[in-house]
Amino acid sequence: MAKQLDLRDTLLRVLKSKLRLSDYYTLILYEHWEIICGDKIGKKTKPKALNRNVLTVGVENPALIFELGFIKEEFVKKVNDFFSSEDKNLPSDKRISIKNIRFVNE
């Protein structure tokens, strides 16, 4: 099992050097999404893109998009809290802060 973690960490390190920073952060969010937003919502939504501090999240159905609109601020806080705990080793100009979330139908 330790070898899987080592391989995962190695792959993330390589991808970080090859991807744009926003794509790398989207990948990290995708990897930890259910931890960030909980199992119930995490299974029905997935982070798709991060552009100019706006996170685009794919959602299974339009009714859920409507419901998530009411707790958007909570999502922004959860994502930013996650990044603040993950970004400790990054220089301040490389740290990310989400300003808004856009929910789209998948």
Measured in residues, the chain has a length of 106
Q: How far apart are the C-alpha atoms of 54 and 56, rounded to whole Å? A: 6
Q: What tens digit of pLDDT does each residue of 21-78 get?
A: 788 888 889 989 999 999 999 999 999 999 999 999 999 999 999 999 999 999 999 9
Q: Does residue 51 belong to any structural domain of this protein?
A: yes
Comparing C-alpha atoms, which of 82, 43, 77, 75 is closest to residue 61? 43
**Number of domains the chain is built from:** 1
Whether residue 12 is contained in a domain is answered as no
95 three-class SS: coil
Domain with 61 in it: what CATH number? 3.30.300
Q: Is the pLDDT confidence value at 97 over 80?
A: yes
Range of the domain at 68: 20-105
